[in-house]
Amino acid sequence: MNYSLFIIFLLLNTSILADTLSDRLSNFSQQKKLHGSFVETWRSGYLNEPLISKGELSYQAPGRFRKVIEHPEPVEQIIKGNRIYISRDGETEIVQLSNQKNLAVGIYALRDVLEGNESSLLERFKSNYSQLNSNWVLELEPRVKQKAKLITLHGQGNYIQRVLILYHNGDSSLTEISNDILK
Exposed / middle / buried, residue 81 (Cβ in 10 Å: 0-12, 13-18, 19+): exposed
The answer to whether 103 contacts other proteins (rule: CB under 8 A) is yes
Residues in the chain: 183
Q: Which one-letter DSSP state was computed for residue 73?
A: S
Interface residue with other proteins, options 157, 167, 174, 176 (CB under 8 A)? 167
Collapse the DSSP code of 44 into the 3-class scheme (helix H, G, I; strand E, B; otherwise coil) and give the result. Answer: coil
Interface residue with other proteins, options 40, 112, 115, 118 (CB under 8 A)? 40
**Hey, which residues between 51 and 80 contact other proteins (CB under 8 A)?**
51-53, 67, 69, 72-73, 75, 77
Q: Which stretch binds other proteins (CB under 8 A): 6-14, 87-95, 113-121, 135-143?
A: 87-95
Interface residue with other proteins, options 36, 106, 127, 162 (CB under 8 A)? 106
Q: Are 151 and 140 in contact (CB under 8 A)?
A: yes
Integer Cα distance of 180 and 137 in angstroms: 18
- The site that binds other proteins (CB under 8 A) totals a number of residues, namely 39
Interface residue with other proteins, options 86, 122, 166, 174 (CB under 8 A)? 86
Cβ atoms < 10 Å from Cβ of 54? 14
Sheet holding 33-43, edge to edge: 91-96, 83-88, 75-80, 64-71, 51-60, 33-43, 172-178, 159-167, 148-156, 135-142, 125-132
Interface residue with other proteins, options 173, 177, 182, 183 (CB under 8 A)? 173
Residue ranges in contact with other proteins by CB under 8 A: 40, 42, 44-49, 51-53, 67, 69, 72-73, 75, 77, 82-83, 85-86, 88, 93-96, 99-100, 102-103, 105-106, 147-148, 165, 167, 169, 171, 173
